[in-house]
Amino acid sequence: MSPQNFSLDQLQAEDSHDFVTTYTPKGDASLATLQGILEHNREFFTAKIAERGVLLFRGFNSGSHQDFHSLVEHGMGMEPWNAFNMKKMPGFITSWLRQYSEKLVGGGDYRRYLDKDTVRLGPVEAAIQGPHTEGAIRSERSRYIALCCFEPAPYRAETGMADLHEAYKALPEALQAKYDRAWNRFYYRSARPLNWFDRLMLSFSPFDVIKRPDGRADLALPPCPSVCTVPETGNVCVQPWAFARNTNPQAHKAAQEVFTDRGELKPDSTAANMSLTWELCDESGTAVEWSEEEQQLLFATIYRKALLMEWQKGDIAFVDNVRIGHWRMNGEQGERKLVQIQATNFNAEPYHPSRLEQVST
Ligand SMILES: [Fe+2]
Protein backbone atom coordinates (compact mmCIF):
# COMPACT_ATOMS: atom_id res chain seq x y z
CA MET A 1 0.00 0.00 0.00
CA SER A 2 1.43 3.39 -0.90
CA PRO A 3 1.74 5.93 1.92
CA GLN A 4 -1.11 8.41 2.00
CA ASN A 5 -0.41 11.73 0.38
CA PHE A 6 -0.87 14.65 2.78
CA SER A 7 -0.50 17.74 0.68
CA LEU A 8 -1.60 21.35 0.97
CA ASP A 9 -3.53 20.79 -2.27
CA GLN A 10 -6.12 18.95 -0.20
CA LEU A 11 -7.13 22.22 1.46
CA GLN A 12 -8.90 25.29 0.14
CA ALA A 13 -7.32 28.41 1.67
CA GLU A 14 -9.00 31.79 1.94
CA ASP A 15 -7.82 34.97 3.68
CA SER A 16 -11.23 35.47 5.26
CA HIS A 17 -10.26 38.46 7.43
CA ASP A 18 -7.31 40.86 7.88
CA PHE A 19 -5.65 38.38 10.24
CA VAL A 20 -7.47 35.08 9.61
CA THR A 21 -6.83 32.44 6.96
CA THR A 22 -9.56 29.80 6.73
CA TYR A 23 -8.81 26.30 5.47
CA THR A 24 -11.57 23.96 4.34
CA PRO A 25 -11.26 20.40 3.02
CA LYS A 26 -11.56 19.89 -0.74
CA GLY A 27 -12.40 16.21 -0.23
CA ASP A 28 -11.64 14.02 2.77
CA ALA A 29 -12.85 15.88 5.89
CA SER A 30 -11.54 13.45 8.50
CA LEU A 31 -9.43 14.69 11.41
CA ALA A 32 -6.88 11.93 10.68
CA THR A 33 -6.27 13.46 7.25
CA LEU A 34 -6.10 16.98 8.69
CA GLN A 35 -3.58 15.75 11.26
CA GLY A 36 -1.49 14.22 8.47
CA ILE A 37 -1.59 17.44 6.45
CA LEU A 38 -0.52 19.49 9.49
CA GLU A 39 2.25 17.04 10.33
CA HIS A 40 3.67 17.05 6.80
CA ASN A 41 3.53 20.83 6.49
CA ARG A 42 4.37 22.01 10.01
CA GLU A 43 6.91 24.64 8.99
CA PHE A 44 4.48 26.12 6.51
CA PHE A 45 1.66 26.41 9.06
CA THR A 46 3.91 27.69 11.86
CA ALA A 47 5.20 30.46 9.57
CA LYS A 48 1.63 31.11 8.45
CA ILE A 49 0.45 31.73 12.05
CA ALA A 50 3.22 34.35 12.44
CA GLU A 51 2.31 35.91 9.09
CA ARG A 52 -1.47 35.93 9.51
CA GLY A 53 -2.32 35.73 13.23
CA VAL A 54 -5.09 33.11 13.18
CA LEU A 55 -5.53 29.91 11.16
CA LEU A 56 -9.07 28.51 11.15
CA PHE A 57 -9.79 24.95 10.02
CA ARG A 58 -13.48 24.68 9.19
CA GLY A 59 -15.70 21.97 7.72
CA PHE A 60 -13.85 18.98 9.14
CA ASN A 61 -15.61 16.19 11.02
CA SER A 62 -15.79 16.89 14.73
CA GLY A 63 -14.07 14.45 17.07
CA SER A 64 -13.19 14.01 20.73
CA HIS A 65 -11.08 16.30 22.87
CA GLN A 66 -8.37 13.64 22.60
CA ASP A 67 -8.46 14.01 18.80
CA PHE A 68 -8.07 17.76 19.25
CA HIS A 69 -5.12 17.24 21.61
CA SER A 70 -3.52 14.93 19.07
CA LEU A 71 -3.90 17.53 16.29
CA VAL A 72 -2.08 20.09 18.41
CA GLU A 73 0.65 17.80 19.68
CA HIS A 74 1.20 15.38 16.81
CA GLY A 75 -0.20 17.41 13.92
CA MET A 76 1.30 20.84 14.55
CA GLY A 77 4.06 19.42 16.77
CA MET A 78 3.32 21.97 19.48
CA GLU A 79 4.10 21.17 23.09
CA PRO A 80 1.09 21.95 25.26
CA TRP A 81 2.16 24.44 27.92
CA ASN A 82 -0.26 25.76 30.48
CA ALA A 83 0.91 28.39 32.95
CA PHE A 84 -1.52 27.07 35.52
CA ASN A 85 -0.29 23.50 35.18
CA MET A 86 3.46 23.69 34.68
CA LYS A 87 3.90 20.56 36.79
CA LYS A 88 1.75 18.66 34.27
CA MET A 89 -0.61 17.26 36.87
CA PRO A 90 -3.73 15.31 35.92
CA GLY A 91 -6.79 17.34 34.99
CA PHE A 92 -8.80 16.59 38.14
CA ILE A 93 -5.98 17.79 40.41
CA THR A 94 -5.53 20.95 38.34
CA SER A 95 -9.27 21.63 38.45
CA TRP A 96 -9.21 21.20 42.23
CA LEU A 97 -6.15 23.48 42.54
CA ARG A 98 -7.84 26.07 40.39
CA GLN A 99 -10.98 25.96 42.55
CA TYR A 100 -8.84 26.17 45.68
CA SER A 101 -6.92 29.21 44.43
CA GLU A 102 -10.11 30.83 43.15
CA LYS A 103 -11.52 30.58 46.70
CA LEU A 104 -8.32 32.02 48.15
CA VAL A 105 -8.46 35.14 45.97
CA GLY A 106 -12.22 35.47 45.87
CA GLY A 107 -13.34 34.37 42.43
CA GLY A 108 -12.61 32.61 39.19
CA ASP A 109 -13.82 31.88 35.71
CA TYR A 110 -14.94 28.25 36.27
CA ARG A 111 -12.88 26.82 33.44
CA ARG A 112 -12.32 23.13 33.97
CA TYR A 113 -9.51 20.79 32.93
CA LEU A 114 -10.53 17.81 30.77
CA ASP A 115 -6.95 16.52 31.03
CA LYS A 116 -3.64 18.08 32.03
CA ASP A 117 -3.55 20.35 28.96
CA THR A 118 -7.10 20.59 27.67
CA VAL A 119 -9.45 23.13 29.21
CA ARG A 120 -13.15 23.67 28.73
CA LEU A 121 -13.71 27.42 28.79
CA GLY A 122 -16.11 29.02 31.26
CA PRO A 123 -19.80 29.77 30.67
CA VAL A 124 -21.21 32.71 28.77
CA GLU A 125 -22.68 35.65 30.70
CA ALA A 126 -24.48 38.89 29.99
CA ALA A 127 -21.01 40.42 30.06
CA ILE A 128 -18.11 41.02 27.71
CA GLN A 129 -14.75 39.92 29.06
CA GLY A 130 -11.84 42.31 29.25
CA PRO A 131 -9.35 41.87 26.40
CA HIS A 132 -6.37 39.66 27.14
CA THR A 133 -3.73 37.35 25.77
CA GLU A 134 -3.76 34.05 27.60
CA GLY A 135 -1.49 34.01 30.65
CA ALA A 136 -0.35 37.65 30.25
CA ILE A 137 -0.38 38.09 34.00
CA ARG A 138 3.21 36.79 33.89
CA SER A 139 6.15 37.13 31.47
CA GLU A 140 6.15 33.39 30.91
CA ARG A 141 3.08 32.38 28.97
CA SER A 142 2.12 30.33 25.93
CA ARG A 143 3.02 31.51 22.43
CA TYR A 144 -0.01 29.86 20.85
CA ILE A 145 -3.52 28.92 21.80
CA ALA A 146 -5.52 26.29 19.98
CA LEU A 147 -9.32 26.40 20.22
CA CYS A 148 -11.86 23.77 19.23
CA CYS A 149 -15.61 24.28 19.10
CA PHE A 150 -17.47 21.12 20.07
CA GLU A 151 -20.79 22.94 20.32
CA PRO A 152 -21.52 26.56 19.42
CA ALA A 153 -23.79 28.78 21.52
CA PRO A 154 -27.41 29.10 20.37
CA TYR A 155 -27.09 32.87 20.22
CA ARG A 156 -24.02 35.09 19.93
CA ALA A 157 -21.28 34.36 22.53
CA GLU A 158 -18.62 34.82 19.90
CA THR A 159 -14.94 35.07 20.72
CA GLY A 160 -13.77 38.63 20.15
CA MET A 161 -10.29 38.79 18.62
CA ALA A 162 -8.10 41.78 17.78
CA ASP A 163 -4.67 42.42 16.30
CA LEU A 164 -2.81 43.98 19.22
CA HIS A 165 -0.26 45.63 16.93
CA GLU A 166 -3.05 47.43 15.09
CA ALA A 167 -4.49 48.46 18.48
CA TYR A 168 -1.06 49.75 19.55
CA LYS A 169 -0.73 51.79 16.34
CA ALA A 170 -4.18 53.32 16.91
CA LEU A 171 -3.21 54.70 20.35
CA PRO A 172 -2.07 58.34 20.72
CA GLU A 173 1.73 58.61 20.40
CA ALA A 174 2.13 59.73 24.00
CA LEU A 175 0.41 56.56 25.19
CA GLN A 176 2.46 54.38 22.86
CA ALA A 177 5.61 55.91 24.38
CA LYS A 178 4.23 55.31 27.87
CA TYR A 179 3.49 51.61 27.24
CA ASP A 180 6.88 51.19 25.48
CA ARG A 181 8.53 51.88 28.84
CA ALA A 182 5.95 50.32 31.13
CA TRP A 183 5.60 46.99 32.86
CA ASN A 184 2.34 45.43 34.02
CA ARG A 185 2.28 44.60 37.71
CA PHE A 186 -0.44 42.40 39.20
CA TYR A 187 -1.17 41.47 42.77
CA TYR A 188 -3.95 39.53 44.46
CA ARG A 189 -5.18 40.09 47.99
CA SER A 190 -6.18 36.93 49.80
CA ALA A 191 -9.87 36.73 50.73
CA ARG A 192 -9.03 35.43 54.21
CA PRO A 193 -6.04 35.16 56.55
CA LEU A 194 -3.58 32.52 55.32
CA ASN A 195 -3.45 29.20 57.13
CA TRP A 196 -0.53 26.73 57.16
CA PHE A 197 -1.90 24.90 54.10
CA ASP A 198 -2.21 28.15 52.13
CA ARG A 199 1.37 29.06 53.00
CA LEU A 200 2.56 25.62 51.94
CA MET A 201 0.72 25.82 48.62
CA LEU A 202 1.99 29.35 47.98
CA SER A 203 5.58 28.24 48.58
CA PHE A 204 5.27 26.29 45.31
CA SER A 205 3.83 29.27 43.42
CA PRO A 206 5.45 32.26 41.66
CA PHE A 207 3.83 34.65 44.18
CA ASP A 208 5.75 36.90 46.52
CA VAL A 209 3.70 36.70 49.74
CA ILE A 210 3.49 40.00 51.62
CA LYS A 211 1.71 39.63 54.96
CA ARG A 212 -0.74 42.36 55.96
CA PRO A 213 -1.58 43.49 59.52
CA ASP A 214 -5.11 42.00 59.23
CA GLY A 215 -3.62 38.51 58.62
CA ARG A 216 -4.54 38.50 54.97
CA ALA A 217 -1.76 38.69 52.39
CA ASP A 218 -0.87 40.44 49.17
CA LEU A 219 0.25 37.91 46.60
CA ALA A 220 2.43 39.81 44.14
CA LEU A 221 3.74 38.65 40.78
CA PRO A 222 6.94 40.01 39.21
CA PRO A 223 6.27 42.75 36.61
CA CYS A 224 5.78 41.62 33.03
CA PRO A 225 5.88 43.61 29.75
CA SER A 226 3.03 46.03 28.98
CA VAL A 227 3.97 45.68 25.31
CA CYS A 228 5.83 42.94 23.55
CA THR A 229 7.23 42.56 20.03
CA VAL A 230 6.30 39.61 17.84
CA PRO A 231 9.56 37.66 17.43
CA GLU A 232 9.16 37.04 13.68
CA THR A 233 8.09 40.57 12.67
CA GLY A 234 9.27 42.94 15.41
CA ASN A 235 5.77 44.47 15.52
CA VAL A 236 4.95 45.96 18.92
CA CYS A 237 1.74 44.66 20.53
CA VAL A 238 -0.01 45.76 23.72
CA GLN A 239 -0.32 42.89 26.20
CA PRO A 240 -3.49 43.29 28.29
CA TRP A 241 -4.86 40.94 30.92
CA ALA A 242 -8.03 42.79 31.84
CA PHE A 243 -9.30 40.59 34.67
CA ALA A 244 -8.42 42.93 37.50
CA ARG A 245 -11.06 44.45 39.76
CA ASN A 246 -9.62 47.98 39.49
CA THR A 247 -9.67 47.97 35.65
CA ASN A 248 -13.03 46.17 35.32
CA PRO A 249 -15.24 49.31 35.40
CA GLN A 250 -13.13 50.79 32.59
CA ALA A 251 -13.35 47.55 30.54
CA HIS A 252 -17.12 47.56 31.12
CA LYS A 253 -17.45 51.20 29.99
CA ALA A 254 -15.29 50.52 26.93
CA ALA A 255 -17.50 47.54 25.99
CA GLN A 256 -20.64 49.69 26.35
CA GLU A 257 -19.00 52.43 24.27
CA VAL A 258 -17.98 50.14 21.38
CA PHE A 259 -20.53 47.28 21.34
CA THR A 260 -23.74 49.29 21.23
CA ASP A 261 -25.96 46.54 19.75
CA ARG A 262 -25.41 43.83 22.39
CA GLY A 263 -28.25 44.58 24.80
CA GLU A 264 -27.65 45.20 28.49
CA LEU A 265 -24.03 44.50 29.39
CA LYS A 266 -23.07 43.66 32.96
CA PRO A 267 -19.52 44.00 34.32
CA ASP A 268 -17.49 40.80 33.90
CA SER A 269 -18.08 38.72 37.04
CA THR A 270 -14.65 37.04 37.10
CA ALA A 271 -12.88 40.38 37.30
CA ALA A 272 -15.48 41.80 39.68
CA ASN A 273 -15.06 38.91 42.13
CA MET A 274 -11.33 38.46 42.05
CA SER A 275 -9.30 40.61 44.39
CA LEU A 276 -6.74 41.43 41.72
CA THR A 277 -5.10 44.80 41.06
CA TRP A 278 -3.36 45.77 37.80
CA GLU A 279 -0.89 48.66 37.90
CA LEU A 280 1.88 49.98 35.68
CA CYS A 281 5.43 50.42 36.89
CA ASP A 282 8.79 51.26 35.35
CA GLU A 283 11.87 49.09 34.98
CA SER A 284 12.91 49.78 38.57
CA GLY A 285 9.48 48.87 39.97
CA THR A 286 8.36 52.45 40.65
CA ALA A 287 4.64 52.94 40.05
CA VAL A 288 3.68 54.78 36.84
CA GLU A 289 0.49 56.81 36.89
CA TRP A 290 -2.22 55.21 34.78
CA SER A 291 -5.53 57.05 34.70
CA GLU A 292 -8.95 55.45 34.35
CA GLU A 293 -9.37 57.39 31.08
CA GLU A 294 -6.17 55.84 29.72
CA GLN A 295 -7.34 52.38 30.76
CA GLN A 296 -10.72 52.84 29.09
CA LEU A 297 -9.06 54.17 25.92
CA LEU A 298 -6.77 51.12 25.76
CA PHE A 299 -9.68 48.68 26.08
CA ALA A 300 -11.95 50.61 23.68
CA THR A 301 -9.14 50.82 21.10
CA ILE A 302 -8.73 47.03 21.22
CA TYR A 303 -12.50 46.42 21.08
CA ARG A 304 -12.75 48.70 18.02
CA LYS A 305 -10.40 46.36 16.14
CA ALA A 306 -12.61 43.35 16.93
CA LEU A 307 -13.36 40.41 14.76
CA LEU A 308 -16.24 38.53 16.38
CA MET A 309 -15.52 34.89 15.64
CA GLU A 310 -18.81 33.05 15.15
CA TRP A 311 -17.91 29.47 15.93
CA GLN A 312 -19.24 26.54 13.95
CA LYS A 313 -19.28 22.99 15.26
CA GLY A 314 -15.92 21.35 14.55
CA ASP A 315 -13.98 24.60 14.05
CA ILE A 316 -10.34 24.43 15.08
CA ALA A 317 -8.28 27.60 15.34
CA PHE A 318 -4.58 28.22 16.00
CA VAL A 319 -3.97 31.70 17.38
CA ASP A 320 -0.75 33.70 17.86
CA ASN A 321 -1.12 34.53 21.55
CA VAL A 322 1.35 37.45 21.38
CA ARG A 323 -0.18 39.31 18.46
CA ILE A 324 -3.87 38.47 18.80
CA GLY A 325 -5.84 39.37 21.92
CA HIS A 326 -9.20 37.80 22.66
CA TRP A 327 -12.22 37.90 24.97
CA ARG A 328 -15.62 36.24 25.32
CA MET A 329 -18.60 38.20 24.06
CA ASN A 330 -22.02 38.11 25.75
CA GLY A 331 -24.72 35.73 24.57
CA GLU A 332 -26.56 32.55 25.46
CA GLN A 333 -24.60 29.64 26.91
CA GLY A 334 -26.90 26.78 25.83
CA GLU A 335 -24.67 23.73 25.33
CA ARG A 336 -21.74 25.84 24.13
CA LYS A 337 -18.52 23.88 24.50
CA LEU A 338 -15.32 25.63 23.53
CA VAL A 339 -12.10 23.88 24.44
CA GLN A 340 -8.60 25.36 24.60
CA ILE A 341 -5.03 24.08 24.64
CA GLN A 342 -2.22 26.53 25.34
CA ALA A 343 1.07 25.59 23.69
CA THR A 344 4.75 26.46 23.35
CA ASN A 345 6.39 28.18 26.30
CA PHE A 346 7.24 31.84 25.59
CA ASN A 347 8.99 34.42 27.74
CA ALA A 348 7.80 37.93 26.82
CA GLU A 349 10.50 39.70 28.84
CA PRO A 350 13.31 39.73 26.22
CA TYR A 351 10.75 41.06 23.71
CA HIS A 352 9.86 44.16 25.72
CA PRO A 353 11.05 47.09 23.51
CA SER A 354 13.37 48.39 26.27
CA ARG A 355 15.09 44.99 26.50
CA LEU A 356 15.50 44.82 22.73
CA GLU A 357 17.19 48.24 22.82
CA GLN A 358 19.63 46.93 25.41
CA VAL A 359 20.49 43.99 23.15
CA SER A 360 21.03 46.17 20.07
CA THR A 361 23.13 48.91 21.72
FE1 LIG B 1 -8.95 33.76 27.30
| Cα 253 to averaged position of ligand 1 atoms, centre (Å) | 20
Average pLDDT on 273-281 reads 93
Number of domain units in the chain = 1
| Cα 94 to averaged position of ligand 1 atoms, centre (Å) | 17
Distance CA 114, CA 119 (A): 6
CATH assignment of the domain containing 221: 3.60.130.10
| Cα 132 to averaged position of ligand 1 atoms, centre (Å) | 6
Side chain identity at 146, as an amino acid letter?
Answer: A
| Cα 134 to averaged position of ligand 1 atoms, centre (Å) | 5
What torsion do the CA atoms of 36, 41, 43, 48 make, to the nearest 10 degrees? Answer: -100
User: Is residue 1 in some structural domain?
Assistant: no
Distance CA 160, CA 308 (A): 5
| Cα 117 to averaged position of ligand 1 atoms, centre (Å) | 15
| Cα 22 to averaged position of ligand 1 atoms, centre (Å) | 21
The pLDDT assigned to 2 comes to: 43
User: Is residue 2 in some structural domain?
Assistant: no
Average pLDDT on 100-127 reads 80
The pLDDT assigned to 20 comes to: 98
Strands 54-57 and 20-25: parallel
| Cα 177 to averaged position of ligand 1 atoms, centre (Å) | 27
User: Is residue 337 in some structural domain?
Assistant: yes
User: Is residue 134 in some structural domain?
Assistant: yes
| Cα 276 to averaged position of ligand 1 atoms, centre (Å) | 16
User: Is residue 348 in some structural domain?
Assistant: yes
> For residue range 68-106, what is the model confidence (pLDDT) as tens digits?
999 999 999 999 997 665 556 666 666 777 777 777 777
Average pLDDT on 262-268 reads 96
Phi-psi region for residue 29, left (φ > 0), alpha (ψ -120 to 50) or beta?
Answer: alpha
| CB of 66 closer than 8 Å to CB of 117 | no
> For residue range 39-63, what is the model confidence (pLDDT) as tens digits?
999 999 999 999 999 999 999 998 9
* Mean of per-residue pLDDT scores for the chain: 92
> For residue range 299-349, what is the model confidence (pLDDT) as tens digits?
999 999 999 999 999 999 999 999 999 999 999 999 999 999 999 999 999
Q: pLDDT above 70 covers what percent of the chain?
A: 93
| Cα 109 to averaged position of ligand 1 atoms, centre (Å) | 10
User: Is residue 29 in some structural domain?
Assistant: yes
| Cα 293 to averaged position of ligand 1 atoms, centre (Å) | 24
The pLDDT assigned to 90 comes to: 66
Residue 336 lies in domain: 8-360
User: Is residue 37 in some structural domain?
Assistant: yes
User: Is residue 226 in some structural domain?
Assistant: yes
| CB of 309 closer than 8 Å to CB of 335 | no
| Cα 30 to averaged position of ligand 1 atoms, centre (Å) | 28
| Cα 122 to averaged position of ligand 1 atoms, centre (Å) | 9
- Across 90-158, the runs of DSSP E, i.e. the strands, are 112-113, 118-120, 140-151, 155-156
| Cα 359 to averaged position of ligand 1 atoms, centre (Å) | 31
| Cα 358 to averaged position of ligand 1 atoms, centre (Å) | 32
| CB of 54 closer than 8 Å to CB of 161 | yes
Distance CA 122, CA 269 (A): 11
Average pLDDT on 154-177 reads 97
The pLDDT assigned to 231 comes to: 95
